[in-house]
């Protein structure tokens, strides 16, 4: 967590500079891929969304405390124009900067406060998921790779799209499905991720056109059972990264983590269970 909060401090120190997710990750000594996923799980926003909301929050406070033009404030906050700044401000606060300044009501807005350690306090008491520590042997997988960014990931949509193709995979060894979070691709300041819907196979013979193959090596994992609809998965991830891992005798290994879905898993069923596998090693 000390490493993670270095990235939060970095944002505050460079709020008026151009900041990329890569620079934030470097401040915490994580790879951009894993940092971005951990950040979204803990904070609830992507790094890019968090920076934007913090800038707009600080801008709102400056509107009431400083005699500064809206255009100058927009440029300070890394917006290209007053129009873009006004649009983003209204999208977040449901009021324009000029209207907010005129009303002079600092309690009208729901500010995006700086993320801090006390915001994770509830995790110590409200959630408790004890994982099973297991070593999984190497496994071969075949599936469909989907590119997304953190803002548009929809697991139900990805798995619904994969279902018609699953039976085309030859040499399947079970009806369980693996959801693999893989590496990222950089596009300017944006980070695009790859999520693979896949099935375990005996070998890589006759891979269907348009599908990819992956082999996960033998690895030690913390296996967490998530019970309930997939829409509540963020709560389990927040607990894993924000509570269990920092207090455990293990540290995270930057290798692919994955979800294991049993046959017949229903993403909407509150009684459904799936297993999250987090790669770890002893401290």
Is residue 71 located within the same domain as residue 149? no
Q: Structure pTM? A: 0.75
Is residue 273 located within the same domain as residue 148? yes
Is residue 89 located within the same domain as residue 50? yes
How far is residue 18 from each of residues 32, 36, 95, 114, measured CA to CA in Å? 16, 17, 25, 18
> Mean pLDDT, 10 residues at a time, over the chain (283 residues)?
85 91 85 80 84 92 92 94 93 90 72 65 58 96 84 76 88 92 65 86 92 95 89 82 86 89 82 91 91
Print the domain residue range for 42.
2-103
Is residue 165 located within the same domain as residue 272? yes
- What are the two backbone dihedrals, phi and then psi, of residue 163, each rounded to the nearest 5 degrees? -50, -45
Is residue 64 located within the same domain as residue 149? no
pLDDT at 261: 94
pLDDT at 243: 81
Is residue 202 located within the same domain as residue 263? yes
Whether residue 8 is contained in a domain is answered as: yes
Measured distance between the N- and C-terminal CA atoms of the chain, rounded to whole angstroms: 15
pLDDT at 63: 92
Q: Indicate the residue among 52, 87, 103 that finishes a domain.
A: 103
Q: What is the CATH number of the domain that holds 207?
A: 3.20.80.10
Is residue 153 located within the same domain as residue 69? no
């Amino acid at each position: 967590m000390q490493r993670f909060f270095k990235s939060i401090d970095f944002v505050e120190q460079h709020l008026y500079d151009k900041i990329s997710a890569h620079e934030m990750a470097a401040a915490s000594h994580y790879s951009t891929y894993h940092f971005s996923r951990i950040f979204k799980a803990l904070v609830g926003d992507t790094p890019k969304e968090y920076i934007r909301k913090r800038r707009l929050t600080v801008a709102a406070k400056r509107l009431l405390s400083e005699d500064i033009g809206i255009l100058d404030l927009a440029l300070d906050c890394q917006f290209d124009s007053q129009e873009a700044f006004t649009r983003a401000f209204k999208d977040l606060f449901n009021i324009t900067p000029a209207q907010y300044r005129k009303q002079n009501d600092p309690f009208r807005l729901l500010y995006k406060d700086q993320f801090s350690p006390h915001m994770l306090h509830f995790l110590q008491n409200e959630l408790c998921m004890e994982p099973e520590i297991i070593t999984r042997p190497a496994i071969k997988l075949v599936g469909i790779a989907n590119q997304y960014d953190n803002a548009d990931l929809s697991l139900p949509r990805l798995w619904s799209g994969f279902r018609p193709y699953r039976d085309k995979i030859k040499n399947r060894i079970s009806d369980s499905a693996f959801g693999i979070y893989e590496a990222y691709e950089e596009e300017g300041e944006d980070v695009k991720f790859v999520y693979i819907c896949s099935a375990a196979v005996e070998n890589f013979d006759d891979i269907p056109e348009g599908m990819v193959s992956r082999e996960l090596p033998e690895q030690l994992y913390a296996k967490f059972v998530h019970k309930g609809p997939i829409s509540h998965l963020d709560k389990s991830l927040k607990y894993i990264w924000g509570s269990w891992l920092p207090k455990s005798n293990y540290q995270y290994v930057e290798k692919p983590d994955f979800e294991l879905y049993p046959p017949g898993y229903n993403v909407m069923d509150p009684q459904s269970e799936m297993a999250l596998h987090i790669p770890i090693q002893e401290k």
